[in-house]
Structure 1
Amino acid sequence: MYRYNEFDRAFVANRAAQFRDQIERWQDGTLSEDAFRPLRLQNGWYVQRHAPMLRVAVPYGELSSAQLRVLARIAREYDEPEAEVYRSALEAQRKLGTVRLPAHHAHFTTRTNVQFNWIPLSKAADVMDLLATVDMHGIQTSGNCIRNISCDERAGVAPDEIADPRPFAEIMRQWTTLHPEFAFLPRKFKIAITGATEDRAATGWHDVGLRLVQDASGQLGFRVAVGGGMGRTPVIGVVLREFLPWRQIMNYIEAVVRVYNQFGRRDNKYKARIKILAKAEGQRFIDEVEEEFRQIVECDGGPHTIAQAEFDRMSKYFAVPPQAAAGRPVDPAAAAALQIAARQTPKLQRWLERNVAPHKDPSMRIVTLSFKRLLQAPGDASAEQLERVADLVDRFSAGEARVTHTQNIVLPWVHAGDLLSLWQAAVDAQLASANVHLLTDMISCPGGDFCALANARSLPIAQSIMERYQDIDELNDIGEIDLHISGCINSCGHHHSGHIGILGVDKDGAEWYQITLGGADGSARSGDARPGKVIGPSFAAHEVTDAVDAVIGCYLALREQKSERRETFIETVRRVGLEPFKAAADAVRATTEYTV
């Protein structure tokens, strides 16, 4: 992974010192609230429903064990709500029927950042100083700028990878950080990159989605899609270039952003995203980008063309870690012991099938640690869990972990001979849930329990569904389903791309929920990216789990056998259409006294 140099560390430390000065001036009244607000947002500090929220950048999802330990320390020592604030929050939750608002936790987001929900602003400067000690910060995790660049969590280790996208992501991260042309865009701007044949980075759903490809001669380049996004208007990005030589990618992105800066709407934040501009203007938008790109290359000399020497320099940071490059062969005795243990222990067998994936090095594996379990919100990780993960990362994964799009942690450098020991250690740490890609491996935003923008709570719905589906045999029989939950139309829980999507809506001050079916993020299990479709009027909170249950029951009744396997949920939905599922869900609504 990338290692900060002296300049990088001085940059982040100076930024932290600058933020401390801003906080002190805000506290003593010499800096107004209106003046302070954009400054804290530029450093990742929001004010949410009950308390401040910090968003920490995790570029392309990579974390070291040292960084995990500092995140654990922040959760333990600083994620502590002020007593009066917490009492008020608990009282508000009691009126809604729930009182679980955990502190001392970090939260992994769908864009692989890390958030904290209870750090008082009085401690914010100390937290930023602490993050800087391990090369972390909150720069450009908020605001109308180019945000954290995300990647496939298997970047650099996946067998289906054409090229590692991380060197490009890091070059772009450095280029876009505090770049004046990218700092005051009409709205926020998100880039995702994958180098694999399977799109595990949901690139179609991003403002710019990049996929590394090869042309007929074997030359490396990018397939460039622009204008994807969720929110009120879910749109899949339009392909502007099927093949762009890799050296030109930053010149092309600059052309895209210049056109967006010039023509993007600034009078209406709901219509300010680039997806609205690209959709409204169609071919004219593409022509404007191509003309801008021509001028950047031909008239300006292509100032951001990536030199081979720079790419080679950056690629060295992403070489195989020395601990993983030792050429350690798989011990036949260890392999045999693993097979015997798996036959004798069904939980281990399921974990090997669900949480362990092939690696480009045949002697290694990619392992997912699931945080999804009863009484723990999707994406949440306690201080203790973060420390246990850091220990596992040091012991089994060359000191490196990845945050996933689905709010879990991946260990990318696990020797096959260590799988049994890793599983046993993960069981001890309560991180061995064998549910990856199953129904309980759901995505959820924090929702109305924390977020001031949310119309409804996400976490009680997630927990209710989790409680209903605790039987691992039942989950495996149902098979792979992407369930995504958002507390509002901003779609931080990516409900649009869920095979089953749940969206919280407000109706006369009460919490209701729309259900969508048939969405896809672009992964192999989902097919091409597409938004789900609503299956009728909203459901009351107490109806949602029964409605999901009815939808799944309908699928089990309708699925077909396909050669040696059974049809998946998303395959059945696409084959039979939405009407049978809508009727099943409507039957749940008909049994209650509530109507919409």
Structure 2
Amino acid sequence: MYRYDAIDHRIVRERVEEFRDQTRRFLAGELSEDEFRPLRLMNGLYIQRLAPMLRVAIPYGHLSSTQLRKLADIARRYDKGYGHFTTRQNLQYNWPTLESVPDILAELAEVEMHAIQTSGNCVRNTTTDAFAGVAADELIDPRPYCEIIRQWSTLHPEFAYLPRKFKIAVSGAVEDRAATLVHDIGLHVVKNAAGEVGFKVIVGGGLGRTPIIGEVVREFLPTEHLLTYLDAILRVYNRFGRRDNKYKARIKILVKALTVEGFAAKVEEEWSHLKDGPATIRPEDVAHYASFFTAPAYESLSGSPAEFAAKLAEQPAFARWVERNTRAHRQSGYRSVVLSLKKTGVPPGDASDAQMDAVADWADRFGFGEIRVAHEQNLILPDVKERDLFVLWELAKQQGFATPNVGLLTDIICCPGGDFCSLANAKSIPVAEAIQQRFDDFDYLNDLGEIDLNMSGCMNACGHHHVGHIGILGVDKNGEEWYQITLGGSQGNQTSLGKVIGPSFARAQMPDVIEKILSVYVEQRQQGERFIEAVRRLGITPFKERVYAKDH
């Protein structure tokens, strides 16, 4: 992991003290709400439906065990004993008092964390593959470049007041696990014909009110030109992006208005003034940041140990968990473990202070003190020896982290919705729980296979419903909460946007609606066909007819 230097420490400490004084002045009536709003947003502080919400940055989803213990301690002392992990690989506290936020930020600074640029019209937290550095299909480790982007974008004076918020995702593997095609900028590591490593640059993706899949503006960008090219993109957006209408202010609208060819031409023109300039990345720069992400001291292990194989044969529940909740590792004898935050009855993405402490302990005991936050709102222990998996599984069961549903229907991506967010049209958490309760049968879930169900409480799409195989969107209907269904969305290398199947449904209908959709799949699927493949083959018509058919 990247470690702060003296400059990093000083910047974060000074930012905390600056905000402490701003908060004091606001509480004393010296700053109006309008004056204080941009100041608090710069420090990740929102005013939600019931209380302030503080969003803490977790750069590219990486946490040390020390940092996770601090997050747990803050939840225990300043909040209601839990935190919410988001699709942006951050953590949110839903119940801090305004007066306590400067103290929270000061404590975060002690463990090299902050909330800078987790809100506002700026470059937000850069996200990447939660399995970066350990994935078997990785071309190069994207984390050094994520850190370079983080350092470039943090407190960048030119990009502090963009037309709208701006999100960058980086994928360094064959399979895109960072949803890069629905980000303002997506970067794919690629190799050209000469075997040189560079980036395919995708611009103009995004969800929200106007979901759009990004388009390629450059097929191959040499790595040394990454920052100058990003500078050029941001400058074009800053100059031409709409500021008169926030609903048309995202870069995706600008790309569509100019056409991808027109936008790319403006970027190339701007880049001609920046290329080979001071922001060019030198080999020693890459080596410096790569030195923070070297492989840990793995043991030399050959094949799976006999005891592990025996436990798989003796314990069907353990074998099911290993199949669903662990991933192949590039190092023989190791696996990455996904700790599911989707136990039935618990809001998706929530973890208690005790659970966070437990995960920190496991990271030290079974790994190298590192935890990852997945964009699917689960936690990951990246380096666990196969011989330790059974003990870890038993401990995870005790803490409610061993639900073997990763990638299945009940592994729901879900925003906090109307229970907390002042922007939401409808609640998300009760609907997620109702669906999980209806389908709380692991034999049935495994028979259904991989299904992504994503839910958002409003059009801002924090739950990424547009790219769920099944998407649920909360809508307002004459002051009442209703829910719209989309089918056919997906993320990854074959990203697609779901299609609305028809009129919305009342909350109480949602489990029945999902059951009817699944019944069509079970009846009409072909041998080995996944749900998303069946939807693409059949289209939405048979699902729509089943859902809206009148019961006789």
Answer whether TM exceeds 0.5 for this pair: yes
Equivalent of residue 327 in structure 1, options 279, 289, 299: 299
Pair 1:575 & 2:537 matched: yes
Residue 331 of structure 1 deviates from its aligned partner by 8.4
* Separation of aligned partners in 2, 1:436 and 1:331: 24
Deviates more, 1:360-369 or 1:183-192: 360-369
* Separation of aligned partners in 2, 1:417 and 1:215: 40
**Counterpart in 2 of 1:52?**
52
Gaps spanning 5+ residues in structure 2: where?
none
**Counterpart in 1 of 2:211?**
234
* Separation of aligned partners in 1, 2:343 and 2:397: 13
**Counterpart in 2 of 1:316?**
291
For residues 92-139 of structure 1, the C-alpha deviation after alignment (integer angstroms, 9 at most, x for no partner) is xxxxxxxxxxx3210000010100100010111111111111111110
Gaps spanning 5+ residues in structure 1: where?
80-102
Pair 1:406 & 2:376 matched: yes
CA contact under 8 A between 2:520 and 2:546: conserved in structure 1?
yes
CA contact under 8 A between 2:307 and 2:387: conserved in structure 1?
no
* Separation of aligned partners in 2, 1:360 and 1:141: 32
Equivalent of residue 381 in structure 1, options 321, 346, 351: 351
Residue 416 of structure 1 deviates from its aligned partner by 2.0
AA aligned opposite 2:120: G
* Separation of aligned partners in 1, 2:337 and 2:67: 19
**Counterpart in 1 of 2:101?**
124
Q: How does 1:50-89 map to 2 (within 5 A)?
A: 50-79=50-79
For residues 57-103 of structure 1, the C-alpha deviation after alignment (integer angstroms, 9 at most, x for no partner) is 00100001011111101111111xxxxxxxxxxxxxxxxxxxxxxx3
Number of matched pairs? 551
Residue 313 of structure 1 deviates from its aligned partner by 0.7
Match of 2:274, SS state, is: helix
Residue 330 of structure 1 deviates from its aligned partner by 5.1
Match of 1:70, SS state, is: helix
**Counterpart in 2 of 1:427?**
397
Pair 1:286 & 2:252 matched: no
* Separation of aligned partners in 2, 1:506 and 1:218: 53
* Separation of aligned partners in 2, 1:345 and 1:147: 44
* Separation of aligned partners in 1, 2:400 and 2:312: 18
Residue 350 of structure 1 deviates from its aligned partner by 0.5
Residue 486 of structure 1 deviates from its aligned partner by 0.1
Q: How does 1:191-270 map to 2 (within 5 A)?
A: 191-270=168-247
Residue 326 of structure 1 deviates from its aligned partner by 4.2
**Counterpart in 2 of 1:553?**
519
* Separation of aligned partners in 2, 1:61 and 1:206: 16
AA aligned opposite 1:288: K
**Counterpart in 1 of 2:472?**
502
Equivalent of residue 271 in structure 1, options 239, 248, 261: 248
CA contact under 8 A between 1:370 and 1:431: conserved in structure 2?
yes
AA aligned opposite 1:308: P
Consecutive aligned runs of 4 or more in structure 1 exceeding 6 Å deviation: none
% identical aligned pairs: 55
For residues 35-67 of structure 1, the C-alpha deviation after alignment (integer angstroms, 9 at most, x for no partner) is 111111000000000000000000100001011
AA aligned opposite 1:373: K
* Separation of aligned partners in 2, 1:272 and 1:145: 13
CA RMSD of aligned residues (A): 1.2
Deviates more, 1:353-362 or 1:490-499: 353-362
* Separation of aligned partners in 2, 1:490 and 1:454: 8
Match of 2:372, SS state, is: strand
Equivalent of residue 510 in structure 2, options 544, 548, 559: 544
* Separation of aligned partners in 2, 1:113 and 1:307: 30
Normalization by structure 2: what TM-score? Answer: 0.98
Normalization by structure 1: what TM-score? Answer: 0.91
**Counterpart in 2 of 1:84?**
none
CA contact under 8 A between 1:330 and 1:416: conserved in structure 2?
no
CA contact under 8 A between 1:53 and 1:118: conserved in structure 2?
yes
Residue 320 of structure 1 deviates from its aligned partner by 1.3
**Counterpart in 2 of 1:343?**
313
**Counterpart in 2 of 1:392?**
362
* Separation of aligned partners in 1, 2:93 and 2:106: 16
**Counterpart in 1 of 2:274?**
296
AA aligned opposite 1:543: Q
